[in-house]
């Protein structure tokens, strides 16, 4: 019975890894196929025969680059350990930043309304203003 549970657990981990890999590969293809389709079309028939507006080329590039932002999202959605580590890093980063900023806010009110300036504690320079 223990052996059977161990095999099932192993199979579940492998299946989950396979699904994650499939999603990552699918996102990669979805993001990069439009660009490479354009690229191969231009390589085969030439720029003169197959003109394409520069904005379309830029959009195709950016869709491909967008794939890099999808990978962490995919891993967070499919991997509990990655999600925990990622949220821990974000929490520590924002808690550190917030604690540094909270002690260095100056407030003014005047003719033009109410302003809150956020001063960097070490460099004594303005890093943000809210109205």
Q: What predicted TM-score, i.e. pTM, was given to this entire model?
A: 0.58
HSE-up of residue 122 (Cα within 13 Å, Cβ side): 2
What pLDDT, on a 0 to 100 scale, did the predictor assign at position 125? 47
DSSP state of 49: H
* In the chain, domain spans: 2-78
* pLDDT classification of 63: cutoffs 50, 70, 90: very high
Q: Is 72 helix (H, G, I), strand (E, B) or coil?
A: helix
Q: Is pLDDT above 50 for 110?
A: no
Q: Is pLDDT above 60 for 121?
A: no
Q: Is 108 helix (H, G, I), strand (E, B) or coil?
A: strand
Instruction: For the chain, give the percent of residues with pLDDT over 90.
Output: 34
Q: Is pLDDT above 80 for 8?
A: no
């Amino acid at each position: 019975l223990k052996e059977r549970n161990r095999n099932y657990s192993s199979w579940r981990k492998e299946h989950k890894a396979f699904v994650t890999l499939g999603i990552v590969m699918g996102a990669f293809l979805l993001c990069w196929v439009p660009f490479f389709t354009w690229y191969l079309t231009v390589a085969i028939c030439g720029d003169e025969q197959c003109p394409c507006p520069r904005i379309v080329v830029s959009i195709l590039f950016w869709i491909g680059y967008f794939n890099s932002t999808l990978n962490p999202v995919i891993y967070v959605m499919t991997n509990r350990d990655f999600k925990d580590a990622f949220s821990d890093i974000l929490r520590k980063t924002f808690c550190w930043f917030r604690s540094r900023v909270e002690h260095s806010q100056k407030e003014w009110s005047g003719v033009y309304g109410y302003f809150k300036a956020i001063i960097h504690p070490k460099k004594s320079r303005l890093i943000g203003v809210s109205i």
